[in-house]
Chains A and B, each alone.
Chain A
Amino acid sequence: MTWDSFFYFAAAAVLLWTFGAIAAWKGRERGTFVCTVAGLAVFAAYIIGMWVTLQRPPLRTMGETRLWYSLFLPLAGLIVYGRWRYRWILSFSTMLSTVFVCVNLFKPEIHTKTLMPALQSPWFAPHVIVYMFAYALLGAATLMAVYYLFRLPDKRAMASVDNLVGVGLAFMTFGMLFGALWAKEAWGHYWTWDPKETWAAITWFTYLAYIHYRLVPTHRPRRALALLLLAFVLLQMCWWGINYLPAAQGGAHSY
């Protein structure tokens, strides 16, 4: 499997996810699940094929992490749909996933076989995969926040946003602490305030602030949703924004 065949797999997956999203709008639950799961299977097959061909997990470059994000977004959407039956969530997650697929189609980065010794660790795959899954869940939470920012958020909607953020934050905690345990083995210290770590801490604290703000008796739900938007902007900074930040060049995380 090479990067050349990405278009065919991606097109098939996006098509299936679109059918799933349409089925969700029309209230056809079985069709929704069958199509979305089929799309996930096609996309996952491509990632596994890449993994086998590259002889290493495809997690090293930004393009490779975007692959996982494109996979996990519809998965997070499907989990939300499965639990709360929001008709619109799969349309949003499919749209966002398609954006990331397109970025990978139009700006594919070099994907060589080499994996430098620093990345050859059993921590590598869990650290990045767990983070990508957290980002996808928090992306879904952000979509809900945008949606309800312009409507009156009811209790049920806020509760499902809280749950998404809670699960996302739990996975983010795994990602961060797996990273700390790995850093001790690879770099000699579990936390060095390298730019990526600094921004990971900022993002983590901001989602913590959301959860705690929701516990303040006098809080306003709309402000809480606005805080989620800010948190997602900071998350983007942590994920790829720092690559363009002059102050953050040359950190231990640049590969």
Chain B
Amino acid sequence: MAEGACIGLAVVLAGVTVQAALGPVVWERLAWPVNVVALAIFVAAVLLGRALSGRVYLLRFLTTAGAAVPALAYAIVLTIVMGLTRQRPDGHWFSQMLTFWPFVLTYTYIALLLGLLTLKRLTHLSSWRRDVPFLLNHAGLLIAMVAATLGSGDMQRLRMEVFSGTPERRAMTEEQSVVRLPMTIELQRFILETYDDGSPRRYASEIIVQRDGEAPLHLTTDVNRPAEAYGWKIYQYGYDARFVASDRQTSVLELVRDPWLPAVYTGIYMMLAGAVLLLFGLQSKASERL
């Protein structure tokens, strides 16, 4: 474990150095195609690490629990610091943990350990009852983490205010710049149902989505039930209470596009299956003992 603690500390210190020299991580730079290059480098590093593990003790050590525990410990400490510090976009170091190099490198190091471990297990299969849950849990977490991180640069989240009677094409990014979409959205009807005390029970928008030269789509987007059109998920984001009863209704929508989502979901479903098998595995282990 002492070796693991030293390596983890080296990762954190390397992060501090990079942070001091280059400033915070700029996630926007990780957009396509840079993220695919980063993925290729990561995969190559894991494959190379696996290939050299016969000769290099350190690489063998990285697949032991003695390496995993300190790596988790560093991640836990950094994440606790994040949890205790108010995170804000104009903050520095601790108050912008997601762009803090030691944090990012520690999680990258965990991904590297998971990658080496997955490959080692794949090349040393013994019994499917133990290997399948192991691989689902470890590879699932690896896939979900890596896809979510590398995909973040390609994700688009736009806000759009739509009006009745006027097809709208413009949407706003989180940085408040205007984007023109290849489709228009028009509000057909805004629905607001309330409880007896006046608090909203349901609010939803009936919308018409039309892409140039194609037939219009009539969709409904509810809170918790986004509509889908042309690769976008369309969320009911909010509404302006002043205009609900007026002739000119409005509704605020959020449009999200995340091309890496299927990969993240693959990882999530693998982890869910792994957790189910973990339960069965524990059960059989317990019955063996009794």
Asked if A152 is at the interface of the complex by the 8 Å CB criterion, the answer is no
Q: Which residues of A contact B157 (CB under 8 A)?
A: 188-189
Is A185 in contact with chain B by the CB < 8 A criterion?
A: yes
Bound form: Cα–Cα A218–B3 in Å: 13
Q: Tell me the complex Cα distance, A68–B8, Å.
A: 40
- Mark out the residues of chain A between 209 and 255 whose CB falls within 8 Å of any chain B CB in the assembled complex: 209, 212-213, 215-216, 218, 234, 237, 242, 245-248
Least Cβ–Cβ distance between B87 and chain A, in angstroms? 7
Given A173-B272, A216-B65: A114 and B199 within 8 A (CB)? yes
Q: Is the CB of B224 within 8 A of A117?
A: yes
- How would residues 107 to 118 of chain A score, 1 for a CB under 8 Å from any chain B CB and 0 otherwise? 000001111111
Which A residues touch B274, using CB under 8 A?
173
Query: Are B235 and A195 closer than 8 Å at their CB atoms?
Result: no
Contact residues of B between 255 and 290, Cβ < 8 Å to A: 256, 258, 261, 264, 268, 271-272, 274-276, 278-279, 282, 285-286, 289-290
Q: Does A50 contact B (CB under 8 A)?
A: no
A121 pairs with B79, CB closer than 8 A? no
The answer to whether B86 has its CB under 8 Å from any CB of chain A is yes
A117-B79 in contact given A166-B282, A173-B272, A185-B226 (Cβ < 8 Å)? no
Residues in B with CB closer than 8 Å to A199 are 83
Residues of B80-120 whose CB lies within 8 A of A: 80, 82-87, 98
Q: Do A83 and B200 contact each other (CB < 8 Å), given the known contacts A174-B272, A186-B223, A212-B65?
A: no
Decide: B275 and A170 in contact? CB cutoff 8 A.
Answer: yes
Given contacts A118-B224, A245-B84, contact A212 B199 (CB under 8 A): no
Residues of B that sit less than 8 Å from A by CB: 1, 64-66, 68-69, 72-73, 75-76, 79-80, 82-87, 98, 148, 155, 157, 195, 197, 199-203, 222-226, 233, 235, 254, 256, 258, 261, 264, 268, 271-272, 274-276, 278-279, 282, 285-286, 289-290
Chain A residues near B222 (CB-CB < 8 A) = 117
Q: Which residues of B contact A169 (CB under 8 A)?
A: 275, 278
Taking Cβ atoms with an 8 Å cutoff, the residues of A that contact B are: 83, 112-118, 120-121, 156, 159, 163, 166-167, 169-171, 173-174, 177, 180-181, 184-191, 193, 195, 198-199, 201-202, 205-206, 208-209, 212-213, 215-216, 218, 234, 237, 242, 245-248
B282 pairs with A212, CB closer than 8 A: no
Q: Which of A156, A190, A215 contacts B264 (CB 8 A)?
A: A190
A115 to B76, CA, bound (A): 34
Q: Say yes or no: B282 contacts A167, CB within 8 Å.
A: yes
- The smallest beta-carbon distance between B203 and chain A, in angstroms, is 6
Whether B76 and A206, one on each chain, are in contact in the complex, defined by CB atoms closer than 8 angstroms, is: yes
Q: How far is the CA of A120 from the CA of B69 in the complex (A)?
A: 39
Whole-angstrom CA separation of A173 from B272 in the bound complex: 7
Complex Cα gap A112–B195 (Å): 11
